[in-house]
Amino acid sequence: MTADERLDPGIQRLIAAVDGRPDAMVALALTLLLPRGLAQTARRLCDAALALAPDDREIAAQARRIRSAGVGKWYFTMVQDDDRHALYAAALRSVMPADATLLDIGAGTGLFAMIAARAGAARVIACERDSAVAAAASAVVAKNGYADRVTIVAKDARDLQIGVDLAAPANLLLWDNLANNLIGAGGLKTVEDARARLLTHDAVIMPYRAEIMVGLATHRRPADYAMGIVDGFDMTPFNQLAVAHDTPDRGAIDLRSNGVAIFDMDFTGPPIPAARNAVTVHATAGRVHAIVQWIRFHLAEGIVYDTIDPGVRAFETEVTPVEPFDVADGQAVVICGRHDRDVPWFWLEA
């Protein structure tokens, strides 16, 4: 049993009943433990089954389903973002304090923790709340020879403690528990908590600032968001259930205006409050199907990472579909937005 998964006596009896039978162990993990949200216990049982039957390919196939449950495909696409890696490495080298202790929030694969160590950090504490991801990241760190400087801690950042997980407050924060909309993964609360408890008063924060950018967009497949006449039937009333926002495939939209920062967030200042704002963009002639949103990260002075750039793999743009309309070259359009510190949403001024 894991520390954060309490098992009722009935489940404990079932686990005991299948002990020593690999096929029954993985079946229990798949059919009962995973559906009940007991992923860590399921993975533990899976590892035990593999130890009993290391050459059984069917057990291995089932085990892969268990181990990867809930682990996003994005881990495999994020590491393909070479430009991002280079920008972060350059930013880290430019701000690295002497004898730096770096706290990496959202360790994921462990890649950025190793990049930080290679850039000169004396010690890196990287936290990852998914225990399976943390274990895999620890294996990556060890395989690449950084285990003496990089420690992966399988905890949520808000559960870290000075004297337990960190010997002393860190003087450099690298936070990467990010969403496509910047704040959707609880980033603001996480950074504020880290600054209050886990960092020195003069710690460097990366990214230290970020802008939520918006603009107008043409969708190359507008029927993905709005029905029209289908086989002679008017389907438009169903559009009331169209998605409020979406993450389109990269290349599915074209910018129909310049981009403007609707929210500008400084992570080195006081807590960032909920906010409302309106900005004006200027269109290029064509059809508008959506408001598009992306992020502009300020990693260090003069080092910027824009998530709408063509080579980006770590993030996607998000769109808010609107009633389609045509715009002329240079036409001014007002985009409104609001965020509650957890989610941003957008609309067009009437």
> Encoding tokens for residue 50?
């593999």
Same domain flag for 344 and 236: yes
As to burial, measured by CB atoms within 10 angstroms (0-12 exposed, 13-18 middle, 19+ buried), residue 120 is middle
Domain span including residue 320: 209-348
Q: How confident is the model at residue 312 (pLDDT cuts 50, 70, 90)?
A: very high
Element holding 211 (H helix, E strand)? strand 209-219
Same domain flag for 153 and 214: no
- Tell me what pLDDT residue 4 has: 60
Same domain flag for 105 and 184: yes
By DSSP bridging, strand 332-339 and strand 275-282 are: antiparallel
User: What's 224's domain CATH number?
Assistant: 2.70.160.11
For the full predicted model, state whether its pTM sits above 0.95: no
Same domain flag for 24 and 108: no
- Tell me what pLDDT residue 288 has: 97
Cα 344 to Cα 57, 65, 142, 319: the distances in Å are 46, 34, 39, 12
> Encoding tokens for residue 93?
């080298």
Helix (H, G, I), strand (E, B), or coil: what is residue 96? coil
Q: Kindly state the average pLDDT of the residues 192-215.
A: 98
- Tell me what pLDDT residue 159 has: 97
Same domain flag for 277 and 180: no
- Tell me what pLDDT residue 63 has: 92
User: Is position 283 within any domain?
Assistant: yes
> Encoding tokens for residue 136?
């895999």
Residue among 21, 294, 283 nearest 182 (CA): 294
Q: How confident is the model at residue 6 (pLDDT cuts 50, 70, 90)?
A: confident
Q: Kindly state the average pLDDT of the residues 215-221.
A: 96
Structural domain ending residue among the three candidates 156, 176, 206:
206
Is the model more confident about 181 or about 5? 181
pLDDT tens digits, 273-287: 999 999 999 999 999
- Tell me what pLDDT residue 1 has: 38
Could you please report the per-residue DSSP string of 174-195? EE----TTSSTTSHHHHHHHHH
How many domains does the chain contain in total?
3
